[in-house]
Structure 1
Amino acid sequence: MHLNIDRTQLINEEVSSKVKTFFSKEGMPVYEIKGYLTTSKYRPKIEAEKISQENYRKNNCHILLGIGSGNIANELHSLLSNKEKLLIIEPNKNILEKMENLKCLLDTEKVKIISGLHNEELEKVLYSLVKEYNNRIQLIISPNYDKIYPNFTKKAMVKIKEILMLETVNRNTLSRFAENWQENFIRNFYFAFQSKPLNTLAGKLNCPVVIASGGPSLDKHLLLIKKNLNKFFLLCAGSTLNTLLDNGIVPDGIVSIDGGLENYNHFKNLKDFTIPLFYSMTLNTEILKLHSGEKIIFNSKGHDQSNQIVDELLKYKVGEVIGGGSVANFTLDIANKLTNGPVCLIGQDLAYTDNASHAIGNINFSKIDKVKMNERKMFEIDGYHGDKVLTDYPFFSMKRGFELYLNYLNHSREVYNCTEGGAFINGCVNTPFKSFINEFCKEKISKEFLQLFSSENYIKTNENWEKLYEIMNGEKEKCQQAQALCTVALDILLKLNPQKPIFNIKTNKKLEKSDKKLKLLLNSGLLFYLFGEVIHSVNNNFLEKESETFEMNQKRIYLKSLALYEGIQISLQKAIHYYQELLNDISQELIKGE
C-alpha cells in the first residue's frame, strides 16, 4: 500500500510543475517544464507536421499523451476523417489553460480531452474507444513528456496496454462463444418457462453465504467447509462443483453461465443432479437437460436488449445480476441479493498460486511451466499476503470485475476475502476463513434453506405453452423469409463484374429495397448474438484503405456486401435450426398437457 501512496504522491508532484513560456522565431509559443521543452524552439510547426504524418493511422483512434504547445494536436486533427477520433491526455492543467483558442479543442465530435489526474474518467473513455475501434489505437507521446512526467507517462501507458489486453480477452470470448450463446438463448426458453425468477428469492436469507471458487487455495479450506456445512449457505461457482463433490461436500446452490461444451463436460457425469441451479439464458442447454432440481433464472445486467425480450416472453421481471469476466463475479452479486448476512469468498485466487491453475479435482487443473507462462502472457501483481503472484489477463479481467463491483457497493455491504492466497482484491476485507466462521457462523441455519425455495412455483398452462409456440414459430418463419431476401440480394451482387463492380442507381435501388424488408423482419432482437458477430466482423474486415481509388472503393463495397449477406444467410440457417429444436421441446410439453 505504501508503494501506491508514494507513486501517487510522485505523480501529483509531477503534474503540478510550473510552466515557462517562450516564443519561437516564428512567433509561436514554446513551453518549458522542469528544464525540458515541449516542442522545437526553432520550427515547431514543421516538427509537429512530421510527427503527425509519421504517426497517423487510417481507421484508428489516436491517443496523444501530452498536448505540448498544441501543434501536434492541431496537425493530427487536420488529418482525421469523420470516422476517426483524437484523445488528448494532458496531466498538467496549467498547460491546458493556455490552449483556450486551439482550433482542434473546439471539435467535440472528434476530440476528447482528459486533464489532470481523472483516473476513473480516463479508464471509462479508454474502454469506450478501445471497444469502438476494435483495438485500433495509435499512441503518440509528445516530445519530452516521458522525461517531464515519467511516473504519469508510465502509469498511462500501463493502463492503455491493460485495457487493450482486457478488450482482446472480451473480444475473443464474444467471437468464440457467440454461436453457442445464440443457440442457448433460443433453446433455453423451454427451461426458463419453468424456472423461478431470481427476483422472488431476493432477501430471503439472513445467514452467512460462502462462495466457493475453484482456485488452488480452495484445497486448504475443504475440511473447514465440511465441518461447518450446516452453518452457512454454500454457493458454488461453476466448475468448482467437482472439487466439492470429490470431497463429500454438496453445496446449497450452484451458479453457472457458460454456454460452451467445455462447461457441459464439468457436469455430464453427474448423477441425480438436483442441487438448486442459478443460471442465465446463455448457459449450455445440455446442462439444463441434465439438471432435475430447482432452476432459478437471472438476466445479466447491461444486456438490455436480451433482458427485455426475456422479461416480455416470461411475463415477469426476472432480475438482473452484475457480472464480469467469470461466473464467480455473477455469484458474488447473487449472494448479496439472496442474503442480508455476511458474504465471503474462498478459492478466489485469480492467480496461479503455487504454479497451479485450479484446485485439485477441477477437470481444468494443470501445473504452470515457462511455456504456459509465455503462451498466456503472464505477469506479476500484488498478492493477498503482500507478496507478488503470477496472473494473466483473463484472471485480471475477473479481478477488475470484482473491484468494479466492490466500488459500486461502496461499503454498503462488506465482502470478506477468505481465500488466504492468490491476488489482492481491492475493496475486500481480508480475513482468515476460520476467523469468518468463528465470528459469523455460530448457529445451524437449515430452516432458512427451506424458506428460500418455498416461493410460488412458476408452472405454465397449456395455453401459455401454445402462446410461446406461436411466437417462436413466427420468429422461425421470419428467418425463412429473411433467407429468401438474402438470396435475392446475393443474386443482384453476383450479376456484377467481381473484378470491376459498379453500383449504379438501379442496382442500389434493388439492394435498398431488400435491405428495408430485411430490417423489418429481423428487428425483434432475438438473434443479436449471431448478427452482432457478423456485423462486427464485416465492419472490421473491410475498412477503407489509404489513398483508395474509386475502383478500389467499389470493389471493397462489393466484397463487404457479399460477406454481409452471406454471413446473415448462414446465421439465419443456424437460427432456424435452433427455433425448430425449441419448437420440438414445446410440442412435447403440449403433448404431456393433453
Structure 2
Amino acid sequence: MTAFGYDEILVDEKLREKNFDAYESTYGIRPVIDSLEGEKFSIRVAKDGEFVLYVKTKESLIRMNSLYSPKYEAQRWAEKDFFSKKNKTILIMGLSTGVYLNRLVELYKEDTRFIVYEPAEGLFSFLCGFIDFCDLICDREHVFLMVSVKQAPAYTAELIKNIEERRPDIYSVITPGYDQDSFFYEICEKAKVINETAIGFQLKWAKGALKNRIFAWTNLTDNSWLKDLSCRIPDDLPAVIVSAGPSLKKNVDVLKKIKGHALIICVDRAVSTLAEHGIVPDVITSVDPAKGAEYVVSDITMEVPLICSLQVNADIQKYFMGRSVFFDHISPEEELFGKEIFNNVEEMEMGGNVSGASFAVCLKMNIRTIILIGQDLAFLNGQHHSDGKNDGAPVGNKVLVEGIDGSMIETTDIWCAFKDFFERQIALHEEIRVIDATEGGALINGTELMTLRQVSDEVCVNEFNIESLFKDLPRAISEEEYENSAGVISKWIDELDIIKRDAMELTEICESLFKVCKYHNINDTKNLKKLKRLEFLRYELSNNHPNVLLEKYWIEDICSIPDRQLMLRTNDEAIVGLEECIKYYRKLPDYCKSLQEELRNTYNL
C-alpha cells in the first residue's frame, strides 16, 4: 500500500535512467530525485490505461488528470480557442504527465515553439519512472523543457532567442492542476517587454540598420573581424567596460592607473566623460544604428579602434574607417562572403544595449575577468547618463530595485531587462569573474562588489601591450572576395525581381481563394491546383536571402508578415490567413523595389 491508501505501482528505474540520460544529453544537467517522492506523489491507472497523477499537499490529495480518459480530457482542453492560427510561441507552466503538452504539440507543432516550465523537479523525476518522455526531451526543434532552477538563465535565453529569430505571437497557459508562481509570472511579463522591443526596433530602426549593414559590406576590405582579434587576447587579460551611467564621474580618474593593466572598453556614450578627464580608452564599442558620430568624435578617439556591429551608424563607420572590428553576422552574409569566413562566429545575445554588447564581446574574446564601471542601471539625483544630457532618457515604467548598498533605488523596467541580461550571462558562464566597480546604482546579482581603486590595486596588476593586439589585424575580406560579393548583390537584385513577380501572382491566387471561402468550400478538389501553386510560390519566396533581408529589416510592420505555415483547414480559418496574405503581397513589390535601389546605389551597380 502507498501513503495514499491504495496498491503501489512501482517505479521503473530503468525507464527513469533512460529519461535522465536523454535529459542530461539534451540539456546538460541530470534531474534530482526527491527523497520523499513516495510520500508526495503517486500514480494510478485510468480506465483507458493511461496514468493518473496524484499530488499530496498539507491540506488535500490533488488528482492532476482524469480517472477515465486523460487523453480525452487533454484533447478537450487543448482544443479550446487559446491561440491564433499564426506562428506562435507558447509558454507553458506545468508538464504533469505530459498528456496536455503532447496534445498541444499534436495540434500546433507545425508552426509553434513550446517553452515548458515544470516547477517541481522532484515531480518530473518521479514521473520519469513511469512515463517515457524521451521524444519530448529530445525534440529541441519544438520543445524546451525546464525542470530545474539551475536552468532559469538558459530558459530566459531560449525565450529571447526564440522571439528575436521567429518574431512569434506569444501565449502563456497553465496546465490543469498547477497554480502560477512568481517565476512564471515574471517570465511572461518579460516576454511581453522583449516582444514589444522587437516590434519597436523593426518599426523604427531596422531599415536604417540594414542600410548601415550594406554600407559596411562595401568597406570590409578596410576593416577586420573580432575572431582575428580574439585569438590574440592573453588568457589573463582583464577588461574594464566603461559605461555611461551617472556614477562614472565618481571613479573615472582611477582608469589612468589601470591603463596598460587591463583592456579599457569604452561605450560610445561614455567617450565625452573620458575626454573631460583626458583618458584614452583602448577601444570604443557601438551597436546602435541610429546613434550619430557626435558621441564618438573626440581628440581621444582619433587613433582608437572600434569594436562594433555591422549595423552601427554609417557615420560612425566612416569616422573609424580602417579601425573597425566587426563581431556579428546574419545568414545572407554567408552567401555574400562565403560561409568559411564565419566559421566559429556564432550569433550572440547583446542584452539590448551597448554595454550588454560589450559584455558579450568580452565573452567572445574569452576574457575571464570583467570589471563594470558606470553600470548604474538606475537614476542618480535624477540623472541617467554621466554626460548630463537629456537625450536617450530611458522609457518605461519606473520601479524600485535593490541598490549596491542595500537601499531601494529608482530604475525603469527597461533597465531591469538590461540588469537581467547581466545576471543571466553571469549564471550561464560560471568560468568568468565579474566585478561591479560602479560604486553606485542597482545591485547586479552574481557580481563581486569592489571599488575601482581596489580593482586597480588587487586585480589589474600585470602589464600588457594592449596597442599591439590591434596592430596589423587581417582584413575582413580580400579585394577578390569583395568582387565576388558584388556579383552576389547583382544576383540578389535579380531575385528581388522574381519576388516581385511571385508576390503579384500570390496576390491573385489569394484573392481567388478568398472568394472561394466566402461562397464555396476551400477543401473542394477544384481548388487543389491553386493551393499547390500557393504553397510552391510561398516556399520559393521564403527560401532566398533577399527575402530574409526584407522580413528581418526592410518591412517595418513585422506583424503583417504571413506565417511560414498557412492554415487553410476550414473556410473561416482560411479567410483570416488569406486576407493577411493579400494585404502583404500587394505591398511586397514596392518593398522589393526600394531594397533594389538601396543595393544598387551603395554598390554603384
TM-score range, shorter chain: 0.7 to 0.9
The answer for the alignment partner of 1:33 in structure 2 is 57
Equivalent residue in structure 2 for 1:139, among 168, 173, 178: 173
Instruction: Supply the distance in 1 between the matched residues of 2:367 and 2:40 (Cα, whole angstroms).
Output: 54
The answer for the alignment partner of 2:361 in structure 1 is 334
Instruction: Supply the distance in 2 between the matched residues of 1:542 and 1:376 (Cα, whole angstroms).
Output: 34
Instruction: Supply the distance in 2 between the matched residues of 1:459 and 1:22 (Cα, whole angstroms).
Output: 61
Question: Secondary structure of 1:275's partner?
Answer: coil
1:434 maps to 2:453: yes
Letter in 1 for 2:58: K
Seq. identity, %: 18
Query: How far did residue 50 of structure 1 move?
Result: 13
Whether contact under 8 Å (1:534, 1:564) holds in the other structure is no
Instruction: Supply the distance in 1 between the matched residues of 2:577 and 2:117 (Cα, whole angstroms).
Output: 33
The answer for the alignment partner of 1:291 in structure 2 is 320
The 3 A distance-change label for structure 1 pair 243 and 161 is: same
Query: How far did residue 124 of structure 1 move?
Result: 6.1
Whether contact under 8 Å (2:121, 2:147) holds in the other structure is yes
CA RMSD of aligned residues (A): 5.0
Any idea what the Cα deviations from partners look like across 1:339-392, whole Å, max 9, x if unmatched? 9785422111223344432213456365xxxxx8xx613333333233333333
Question: Secondary structure of 1:258's partner?
Answer: coil
Instruction: Supply the distance in 1 between the matched residues of 2:78 and 2:500 (Cα, whole angstroms).
Output: 46
Whether contact under 8 Å (1:217, 1:419) holds in the other structure is yes
The answer for the alignment partner of 1:500 in structure 2 is 518
Provide the TM-score with structure 2 as the length reference: 0.72
Provide the TM-score with structure 1 as the length reference: 0.73
Instruction: Supply the distance in 2 between the matched residues of 1:336 and 1:107 (Cα, whole angstroms).
Output: 32
The answer for the alignment partner of 1:324 in structure 2 is 350
Instruction: Supply the distance in 2 between the matched residues of 1:166 and 1:67 (Cα, whole angstroms).
Output: 25
Task: Name the count of aligned residue pairs.
Answer: 551
The answer for the alignment partner of 1:19 in structure 2 is 40
Instruction: Supply the distance in 1 between the matched residues of 2:44 and 2:536 (Cα, whole angstroms).
Output: 60
Farther off after superposition, 241-250 or 217-226: 241-250
Query: How far did residue 572 of structure 1 move?
Result: 1.5
Any idea what the Cα deviations from partners look like across 1:238-295, whole Å, max 9, x if unmatched? 22223323444332311111212x4456357999854311122111223212334522
Any idea what the Cα deviations from partners look like across 1:72-104, whole Å, max 9, x if unmatched? 949986995556669473516358747977899
Instruction: Supply the distance in 1 between the matched residues of 2:509 and 2:169 (Cα, whole angstroms).
Output: 34
The 3 A distance-change label for structure 1 pair 224 and 32 is: closer
Whether contact under 8 Å (2:243, 2:373) holds in the other structure is yes
The 3 A distance-change label for structure 1 pair 100 and 77 is: farther
Letter in 2 for 1:224: V
Equivalent residue in structure 1 for 2:486, among 458, 469, 475: 469
Question: Secondary structure of 1:477's partner?
Answer: helix
Instruction: Supply the distance in 2 between the matched residues of 1:474 and 1:40 (Cα, whole angstroms).
Output: 58
Instruction: Supply the distance in 2 between the matched residues of 1:457 and 1:53 (Cα, whole angstroms).
Output: 56
The answer for the alignment partner of 1:415 in structure 2 is 434
Whether contact under 8 Å (1:67, 1:89) holds in the other structure is yes
Higher helix fraction (1 or 2): 1
Alignment of 1:510-525 (within 5 A): 510-511=533-534, 514-515=537-538, 518=541, 522=545
Alignment of 1:364-383 (within 5 A): 364=391, 366=393, 376-383=396-403
The 3 A distance-change label for structure 1 pair 315 and 582 is: farther
Query: How far did residue 214 of structure 1 move?
Result: 0.9
Instruction: Supply the distance in 1 between the matched residues of 2:382 and 2:35 (Cα, whole angstroms).
Output: 39
Farther off after superposition, 549-558 or 414-423: 549-558
Question: Secondary structure of 1:138's partner?
Answer: strand
Any idea what the Cα deviations from partners look like across 1:433-462, whole Å, max 9, x if unmatched? 0111223456876xx244223225639776
Instruction: Supply the distance in 1 between the matched residues of 2:564 and 2:480 (Cα, whole angstroms).
Output: 47
Letter in 1 for 2:403: G
Whether contact under 8 Å (1:214, 1:348) holds in the other structure is yes
Whether contact under 8 Å (1:55, 1:140) holds in the other structure is no
Equivalent residue in structure 1 for 2:266, among 227, 236, 239: 236
The answer for the alignment partner of 2:19 in structure 1 is none
The answer for the alignment partner of 1:149 in structure 2 is none
Query: How far did residue 327 of structure 1 move?
Result: 1.7
User: Which ranges of structure 2 fall in alignment gaps of 5 or more residues?
Assistant: 1-32
The 3 A distance-change label for structure 1 pair 19 and 293 is: closer
The answer for the alignment partner of 1:214 in structure 2 is 244
The 3 A distance-change label for structure 1 pair 67 and 293 is: closer
Alignment of 1:145-160 (within 5 A): 153-160=181-188
Letter in 1 for 2:83: K
Question: Secondary structure of 1:391's partner?
Answer: strand
Whether contact under 8 Å (1:255, 1:278) holds in the other structure is yes
Whether contact under 8 Å (2:34, 2:125) holds in the other structure is no
Query: How far did residue 306 of structure 1 move?
Result: 4.8
Question: Secondary structure of 2:561's partner?
Answer: helix
Question: Secondary structure of 1:193's partner?
Answer: helix
Farther off after superposition, 227-236 or 570-579: 227-236
The 3 A distance-change label for structure 1 pair 538 and 100 is: farther
